[in-house]
Each structure stands twice: as C-alpha cells, then as structure tokens.
Amino acid sequence: MRALFKLVLLCGIIVNIKTYAQTQNEESNVKVAINLLFDGMRNRDTTMIRNAFAERPIMQTISRGEVKTERVDDFIKSIAKPFPEKFDERITFDKILIDANLASVWTSYKFYIGEKFSHCGVNSFQLLKTDKGWKIIYIIDTRRKDNCN
C-alpha cells in the first residue's frame, strides 16, 4: 500500500512539473508576441508591429474618463512617420493568464520619447494563439502623468 501511495505521489509530481513547464513556455511565447509590438515601436518597424497583431484587432485608450478607439492601421501609420526621438514604452509583465488559445496579460508601463518621460499607465492585452503563434486581438490602456512610481 505504501509503494502504491509513493507511485501515485510521484506521478502527480511529474504531471505538475510537466504542466508547469508547458505553462512557462506558453507565457514566454505570449511575452514574445507583446515584446514584438514594443520592439517594433522603438525601431519604427511597421512590419514587426503588424506581425504582433491578429486580423481585425481592437485598440482602445482610457484617458480622462473617456474611451477612445483607434484603428491599428492608423496607429502603425503614426509610428512610421519621421520623428527625431525614439518612442520607448517600457513595460513590466504583471500578470499573465492562459486558457487554451486565449491569453490575458496585464502590463504596467512608462512611456518615454527619447529619454524624456511622457506618461505611464497599464496595458490590458487579449491574445489569440494561432497557427502563426500568439497574436494580439485587443489592447486597452490607461494614460496618466501622475502616480508613476
């Protein structure tokens, strides 16, 4: 009986380790998809930015109590415009939740134009796992200039 208990316990540990490893791998893949967006912004690489998104994504911003919707194509065009300073959104991955082909990610951020601080807030991402990897289907963010520790 004791040997059976040890065998069941060992099997449970192995399954948990395997599940943990798979979850960590998926979380890493989700981070890659999100970082693709911000690396594209910093480098003004519209192809990189486009590849971060799924088809028909939604972008929204909450500012001063209003929700504003922006077309991703317009966002990409604005990034492509010549500008003397680099757009640098520095994010921290606060929470990643994954269920099957859906990921929900919360990131806090500080936004810089060149080395000058502009604003801060949080991003909330929804991602879809496709045959081409994780793709962003929805982003909503907040923007503020205070409480940006």
Position 147 pLDDT exceeds 70:
yes
Question: Residue 4: its pLDDT value, please?
Answer: 61
pLDDT in tens, 58-74: 999 998 889 999 999 99
Concatenating the DSSP letter of every residue in 96-139 gives EEEETTEEEEEEEEEEEETTEEEEEEEEEEEEEEETTEEEEEEE
Architecture of the domain whose range is 2-142:
Roll (3.10)
